A = this chain, B = another copy of it.
Amino acid sequence: MQKQQYLSKNQKIVLEHVEKANQPLKAYSILYNVQKKGLKAPLQVYRALDKLVEIGKIHKIESRNAFVACKNANCVVSNATAFSICESCEKVTEINNSKLSKYLGNFEDSSGMKYSKYNLEFFGLCKKCKNK
């Protein structure tokens, strides 16, 4: 069996829902909202999320245990992700900065370990919240 070409039914349902949101969603909030479409159990959501994360359609915001759709055409796989997170309103934005990704993609430290993946999360206050 070859690499999957199309998304399965559950994967499509979950991806569509997360894409509509424009912000990170929690797994159980996704579950609650796709129940009308037939997904009844957490595992159905988590499995779909796992696959979507694997292929880069969705990223997990680790510090928030939340999932957000990728809007960056370059993210074929989730191997280089960076986000800015507002600690006040929780707005999350995927950073798409070629200098940063180049820098981190080539980063090597003294251990000699070569990295195949990274995830970076910046925290601060977004423009809106800074001016409050």
Question: Please, which residue of chain B has its CB at the minimum distance from the CB of A126?
Answer: B113
A28 — which chain B residues lie within 8 A by C-beta? none
A6 within 8 A of B: no
A124 — which chain B residues lie within 8 A by C-beta? 113-117
Q: Say whether, besides A103-B103, A119-B120, A125 and B97 are in contact (CB < 8 Å).
A: no
Q: List 21 A-B contacts (CB under 8 A).
A: A62-B62, A86-B113, A93-B111, A95-B109, A97-B110, A103-B103, A111-B126, A111-B127, A113-B125, A114-B124, A115-B122, A115-B124, A116-B124, A116-B125, A117-B122, A117-B124, A118-B120, A118-B122, A119-B120, A119-B123, A120-B121
* Beyond known contacts A113-B130, A116-B125, A117-B122: 9 more, CB 8 A cutoff: A63-B119, A84-B111, A84-B113, A107-B122, A113-B125, A117-B123, A118-B120, A119-B121, A119-B123
Footprint of B on A, CB under 8 Å? 62-63, 84, 86, 93, 95, 97, 100, 103-104, 107, 109-127, 130
